[in-house]
Structure 1
Amino acid sequence: MSSKSMDRWLPCQGYCEMAGSANFFLSLDRCVVLVHGPRWCSSIAAAEMAGIEKKYEKQFYCSEVKQQNLVFGAADELIDALHEIENEQHPSLIALLTSCSMSLIGDDLEGICRSADISCPVLTLDSGGLRGQFMMGYEKGLIRFLEDLPFAPVEKEPGTVNIIGWSTAYPLWEGNLREIRRLLSLIGIQVNVVLGEDGLSLEKAAELKKASLNLVLYPELGEKAARWLEENRGMDYADLPLPYGLQGTRKWLGKVADLLGMIPDFSGIDREMGRRQEQIDLAVIRMKWNNRILQFGDIYACLTKGMAESLIPTLRKEFPDPGVIHLRIEEPGEVHTEGTVPWEPFEPVNVPKGELALVLGNSNTRNEAANFGRIIYRNFLMPQVSLGVPEKCYAGMKGWQIFMSDIIADVYTLAYMNRKE
């Protein structure tokens, strides 16, 4: 196996398994995360979470174990940290996560927590980041939460869905969720619980069984949890990755309706699709009329499997004149997406004169692609460095028009920069 293929397993690269678990728990209302480990390890994850949502910084604690604790244990430090959290935060839940070093020691965390006599529930999770990535940790945290969740005795409501596996660490999470809710409501489908949405209360999460169907929009985050709910709570689920594009979204909505046994009125959706398509077509035609405009070339995408399953077909069908699509899947395991060319890590992007390349991924992807004067970049993965706008989205029908508007604006900018060629 090449050294490149092993890079993802190196420790402390950021967004590790512990950070993934922390991200899910921090999204819960009045939940506090306690990292059982050294300060330096906790600081990395805390800084990443604060970059996602500033308020998460105040929900993040560390037991601050020292070198001697790696030999003799850190029960006293852990108990002190639990009492500090209880006195300062009065939380609804404490998620106790172990760092890599403390995972090796094997302290009896549940026994220590019982002896601390904390008034709120304390949920323990071995989340040592040496084993995997953010997505693995998120999955583990979500399933661990469901295992202890006291499900409320509620009646199932027709035409209602849960979304399993959402993340505030993903770009445009808030705007994308608003767009999904809006589109579903237009055809009479209501969203009940979104596991991973910021501010979700424990009481609302307990009403999961009110929904008729669990939707997994990010399989890398929610598929295992949805399967757990099916096996242990008898809840049906469907993997339907987050929709992109006008036609892609219309098709996605039809699938959701079919799974719920509904025959909704799509006339409003179809009118909106036609109106947005007309506006996009006009902008693309005007762009092509201007002979100074550079042509679109190849597309380089670094995505999760779920994103690729939805976004790649949309790029082929709805993006203007796409070239070859180069794809790298950002999660463990072998994944083949038909019609794409593998893109190896740190492979430079060679953009022919007179063309532009489209790069989709994260800030690391942008940097490795280089060739800044001929690349249009959009963020689809964390980490990201940007000022978030809650209303902005790339998913759904509204999102596709925003995406195309951003791309076209960048084309004009780069055309101006390259006007002497």
Structure 2
Amino acid sequence: MEIPRITCSLFGAIKAAATLKNTVILVHGPRGCVYHINYILGLRGDRHIPVYCTGMDEHDVVFGAEERLRQAILDLDREKKPEIMVVLSCCASGIIGEDVENACRAARTRARVLHIEAGGFSGNFTDGYAKTLLSIVRELAEPVHEQRPGTVNLIGMLRAGPDLREIRDLLSLLDLRIGVVVPAGASCDQLKQIGSACLNIVICETSGLPTAEYLLQRFKTPYIRTVFPVGTALSREFLQKTASALGISPVPTLPDTSEKAGLLSRPPRIALFSGPTRALALGRFLSSQGIAPVLIVLDFETPLIEEIKTAAGSGCSVAVSPGWDAIEDLIRAHGIDILIGGLMERPIAATLNLPLIDVMHGSQRTAGATGGEAILTMIRNCMPH
């Protein structure tokens, strides 16, 4: 038995597709699955599009509901007029073997209708992210005749808020423009031309690497995996790696900023809860400020585990997918002062009466020099004066 800390493939698929422009999401399944995902996304405060469902019931689970699905596709296409419609299977429709793909093909629509198998039993939310990104790009990318110099794509970036603006500003220092961000804010027309970029920058390896590999094979577009640019030093590294991949020289110098954790009366004992991409970036950033986390809790297994351990230093313990009770024990054992994480850590923070800094919220600024300073300010505000 367990208290689950990661959710299913369906959530990841919806979270990824919900950031696309002029898109409608339809889940072929019961109301409960969709209600709870809409509820969670609403709690997070992220801007997201409504998610519709066919409302499968007991009768449908026995006899199927393909005709209802086809009619729902037609109704949404007529009423909402989307450019893209993402139709997702879930556990219920997957278990009974409903031919969702056939219903999508049979419906005559103005929108591009994409079917993605997202049954919860098929994997966790990261599988849903990765599968959805790859499916969208594979279905919508069109042949291109030439690459556009000075154009790069960001692959595996779900945030379209201040972090994206910071990264866009960084790339502009190299006179680079972004062709498409997959999936955050991508339009159908942008996705059609995704093969015309001269470089793909993988922001999140877990969700973006399969898509980058596909684009390399289909369009011969090279890609790089680079650290997420939290703070000035990692922003410099981000620029240097991007410039090196494109043969750009010299690399503009980023001015030193006022980032400094030394104003703290004593180094806080920080527990960091994150997926691998942000754990690596935040671990390196905090270590550079002399406040390395003493505990990192990763959501899932990752090939980046050794990099994360190195980034945080020898004084940090790294736990992968521990149970809820084990997490509370680890926090107590390490004498933690501050939790850095997201929505999932709120109950733990409340139980242990610890401050929580939510850096996973889409409206939070964490990238660039200003993002680094914002994180340090929140840490300082959590410490006793």
TM-score when normalising by structure 1: 0.80
How many residues align? The count is 371
Give the alignment partner of residue 28 of structure 2, picking from 36, 42, 57.
36
Query: Residues 22 and 33 of structure 1 are in contact (CA less than 8 Å); yes or no, is this contact kept in structure 2?
Result: yes
| 1:158 corresponds to 2:138 | no
Aligned mate of 1:83, from 74, 83, 96: 74
1:71 partner SS: helix
Q: 1: CA distance between counterparts of 2:138 and 2:171?
A: 29
Q: Match for residue 377 of structure 1?
A: 356
Specify the SS of the correspondent of 1:187.
coil
The 1:119–1:255 alpha-carbon spacing in structure 2 relative to 1, beyond 3 Å, is closer
The one-letter code of the counterpart of 1:402 is A
Structure 1 position 327 matched with structure 2 position 290: no
| Alpha-carbon spacing, 1:323–1:252, altered in 2? closer, same or farther (3 Å) | closer
Identical counterparts, % of pairs: 25
The letter of the residue matching 2:49 is Y
Counterpart in 1 of 2:40? 48
What are structure 1's unaligned runs of at least 5 residues? 416-421
Q: What displacement does 1:116 show?
A: 3.1
For 2:240 and 2:149, the matched residues in 1 are separated by: 16
Q: Secondary structure at the match of 1:253?
A: helix
Matches within 5 A, 1:335-346: 335-336=305-306, 337-338=309-310, 339=313, 340-343=316-319, 344-346=322-324
Residue 9 of structure 2, aligned match among 9, 17, 21:
17
Match of 1:184 in 2: 171
Aligned to 2:378: 406
CA shift, 1:265, in A, is: 4.4
- The answer (yes or no) to whether the contact 1:38–1:66 under 8 Å persists in 2 is yes
Residue 350 (str. 1) matches residue 332 (str. 2): yes
- Aligned to 1:130, the other structure's residue is in SS state helix
Aligned AA (2:298): I
The structure with the larger Rg is 1
Q: Which of residues 199, 216, 225 is equivalent to 1:230?
A: 216
For 1:133, the aligned partner's letter is N
Shift of residue 364, structure 1, vs aligned partner: 2.5
Flag the 1:315–1:255 CA change in 2: closer, same or farther, 3 A: same
**Structure 1 residues 86, 323: closer, same or farther in 2, change over 3 A?**
closer
Q: Provide the alpha-carbon RMSD of the alignment.
A: 2.5
2:204 aligned partner, one-letter code: Y
What secondary structure, in the 3-state scheme, does the structure 1 residue paired with 2:268 have? Answer: strand
Cα distance, 1:21–1:216 mapped onto 2, change above 3 Å: same
How does 1:289-300 map onto structure 2 within 5 Å?
Answer: 293=265, 295-300=266-271
Separation in 2 of the partners of 1:150 and 1:104? 31
Corresponding residue SS for 2:13: helix
One-letter identity of the residue aligned with 1:307: R
Q: Is the 8 A contact 1:113 1:122 kept in 2?
A: yes
Q: TM-score, normalised by structure 2?
A: 0.87
The equivalent of 1:302 in structure 2 is 273
Distance in structure 2 (CA, Å) of the matches to 1:368 and 1:102 = 35
C-alpha distance 184-323 of structure 1, shift in aligned 2 (>3 A): closer
Secondary structure of residue in 2 paired with 1:68:
helix
Gaps in structure 2 of 5+ consecutive residues: none
1:66, CA displacement in angstroms?
A: 1.3
Query: Equivalent residues in 2 for 1:103-122 (5 A)?
Result: 103-122=94-113
Answer yes or no: is the 8 Å Cα contact 1:296–1:357 preserved in 2: no
* Contact preservation (8 Å) 1:20, 1:135: yes
| 1:217-237: CA deviation from partner (whole Å, max 9, x where unpaired) | 111221111111112222111
Shift of residue 371 of structure 1?
7.1
Instruction: Give 2:18's aligned amino acid.
Output: L
SS in 1 for 2:142: coil
Deviation at 1:50, TM superposition (A): 4.2
